[in-house]
Amino acid sequence: MTTFVVNPGGSLNGQLRVPGDKSISHRSVILGALAEGQTRVSGFLEGQDSLNTLAAFQSMGVPIEYIAGSEGEGGSLVIDGVGLHGLKSPENPLDVGNSGTAMRLMAGVLAAQKFPSTLIGDESLHGRPMGRVIDPLMQMGAEISSGADKRPPLAFAGGRTLNAIDYTTPVASAQIKSCLMLAALYANGETRIHEAGVSRDHTERMLRGFGVDVGVNDLSVSVHGGQKLSATSVDVPADISSAAFFIVGASIAPGSSLLLQHVGMNPTRTGILDILRLMGANIEITNERSVAGEPVADLRIQHSRLNGIDVPVDLVPLAIDEFPVLFVAAACAVGETRITGAAELRVKETDRIKAMADGLTKLGVNITELPDGAVIQGAQSLRGGVVDSFEDHRIAMAFSMAALVSDNSVTVTDCANVATSFPHYAELASGIGLGITTSDGSAVS
Ligand code: S3P
pLDDT in tens, 296-340: 999 999 999 999 999 999 999 999 999 999 999 999 999 999 999
- Give, using CA atoms, the residue closest to atom 16 of ligand 1: 173
| Mean of pLDDT values over 178-198 | 97
- Residue range 22-235, CATH number: 3.65.10.10
Q: Are 245 and 397 in contact (CB under 8 A)?
A: yes
Give me the half-sphere count of Cα atoms (radius 13 Å) on the Cβ side of residue 237.
Answer: 24
Rounded CA gap, 138 and 129, in Å?
Answer: 15
- Whole-number average pLDDT of the chain: 97
Q: Are 81 and 33 in contact (CB under 8 A)?
A: yes
Rounded CA gap, 160 and 384, in Å?
Answer: 56
| Mean of pLDDT values over 221-243 | 97
Residue 72 pLDDT more than 70?
no
Q: Kindly report whether the global pTM for this prediction surpasses the value 0.85.
A: yes
| Mean of pLDDT values over 211-216 | 98
Instruction: Please identify, by atom number, the ligand 1 atom nearest to the C-alpha of residue 22.
Output: 11
- Residue range 4-19+237-437, CATH number: 3.65.10.10
In the chain, CATH 3.65.10.10 covers: 4-19+237-437, 22-235
Residue 192 pLDDT more than 60?
yes
Instruction: List, as own/partner pairs, every contact residues 220-224 make where C-beta atoms lie below 8 angstroms and the sequence separation is at least 24, other chains included.
Output: 220/192, 220/193, 220/194, 220/195, 221/177, 221/181, 221/192, 221/193, 222/190, 222/191, 222/192, 222/193, 223/181, 223/184, 223/185, 223/190, 223/191, 224/164, 224/184, 224/189, 224/190, 224/191
Between the CA of 443 and the centroid of ligand 1 the distance, in Å, is 32
- Give, using CA atoms, the residue closest to atom 9 of ligand 1: 321
Rounded CA gap, 63 and 221, in Å?
Answer: 31
Between the CA of 159 and the centroid of ligand 1 the distance, in Å, is 28
Residue 445 pLDDT more than 60?
no
Kindly state if the Cβ of 174 falls inside 6 Å of ligand 1: yes
Residue 443 pLDDT more than 60?
no
Kindly state if the Cβ of 175 falls inside 6 Å of ligand 1: yes
Write down the pLDDT at residue 442.
Answer: 52
Angle, nearest 10°, between helix axes 22-34 and 48-58?
Answer: 10
Q: What is the CA radius of gyration of the chain?
A: 21
Q: Are 10 and 435 in contact (CB under 8 A)?
A: yes
Kindly state if the Cβ of 241 falls inside 6 Å of ligand 1: no
- The alpha helices in 189-255, defined as continuous H runs, are 202-209, 240-252
**Active site positions, annotated:** 321
3 state DSSP class of 181: helix
3 state DSSP class of 225: coil
Q: Are 154 and 103 in contact (CB under 8 A)?
A: yes
Rounded CA gap, 409 and 327, in Å?
Answer: 18
Residue 431 pLDDT more than 60?
yes
Between the CA of 175 and the centroid of ligand 1 the distance, in Å, is 5
Q: Are 261 and 300 in contact (CB under 8 A)?
A: no
β-bridge pairing 4-6 and 436-438: antiparallel
Between the CA of 348 and the centroid of ligand 1 the distance, in Å, is 9
Kindly state if the Cβ of 316 falls inside 6 Å of ligand 1: no
Instruction: Please identify, by atom number, the ligand 1 atom nearest to the C-alpha of residue 176.
Output: 14
Q: What is the DSSP letter of 310?
A: B
Rounded CA gap, 315 and 313, in Å?
Answer: 5
Q: Are 152 and 127 in contact (CB under 8 A)?
A: no
Rounded CA gap, 162 and 260, in Å?
Answer: 44
Rounded CA gap, 79 and 30, in Å?
Answer: 10
Residues 6+ apart with CB under 8 A from 158: 110, 113, 114, 115, 116, 117
Kindly state if the Cβ of 132 falls inside 6 Å of ligand 1: no
Kindly state if the Cβ of 320 falls inside 6 Å of ligand 1: yes
Residue 95 pLDDT more than 50?
yes
